[in-house]
Amino acid sequence: MSGFMDFLFGWMQNVDPKALILAFSAIGAGFAMIGGIGPGIGQGYAAGKAAEAVGKNPGEGSKPATLVMLLGAAVAETSGIFSLVIAIIMLFANPLVNKTGVGLVLACSAIGAGLSMIAGIGPGVGQGYAAGKAAEAVGNRPKLQATILRTMLLGQAVAQTTGIYALIIALLLLFVNIF
């Protein structure tokens, strides 16, 4: 087993730890942005449902459905913003570069931080789904906009928790000195 590990990781002994950390950070930043898939799907769903609602009720249901869709889509974007923040930190203000310790562990922390942000896919899709259904409901019953909007925002807040957990783990991997 030792020979296999040397084969896989032996080359890293000849690489400057700072360069290794920066290289793995670049990979981690790319992984982090995968979290943007969820908001894209969710916002598209919300926009589609709002358009559908406006098509069914173009008069009094149009403005309330559009407002609900815009508010819901803005909330659904938060997990994508979290991913962007982690990617930017890793690319431009990487705290791991100046730490002392095993370069491989620090480099893997960078990849782990990026990978953790993939969890943002769930909240983005879920929040967009909630926004779409709320826009659809407001399009059908515009007088219930306040109640529907409040329910949507409450549900979206709960759906955001896994995105927040991912952000916390990514920040811990970047900023907590494990040595």
Which tens digit of pLDDT belongs to each residue from 158-179? 889 989 999 999 999 888 866 5
Whether 95 shows a pLDDT value over 80: the answer reads yes
Whether 155 shows a pLDDT value over 60: the answer reads yes
- pLDDT band of 97, cuts 50, 70, 90: confident
Closest CA to 173 of 115, 102, 100: 115
Whether 118 shows a pLDDT value over 90: the answer reads yes
Start-to-end Cα distance in the chain? 26
Domain boundaries, given as residue ranges, for the chain: 17-175
Instruction: Name the amino acid, one letter, at 105.
Output: V
Cβ-Cβ contacts under 8 Å for 92 (sequence gap 6 or more): none
What is the pLDDT at residue 19? 85
| CATH number for the domain formed by residue range(s) 17-175 | 1.20.120.610
Closest CA to 116 of 156, 173, 41: 173
- pLDDT band of 56, cuts 50, 70, 90: confident
What is the pLDDT at residue 179? 57
Which tens digit of pLDDT belongs to each residue from 27-49? 999 999 999 899 989 998 998 88
Output 56 or 8, whichever has higher pLDDT: 56
* Contact criterion met (CB below 8 Å) for 113 and 28: yes
Distance in angstroms (rounded) separating the CA atoms of residues 81 and 172: 17
What rounded mean pLDDT belongs to the chain? 87
> Would the pTM of this model clear 0.85, i.e. be above it?
no
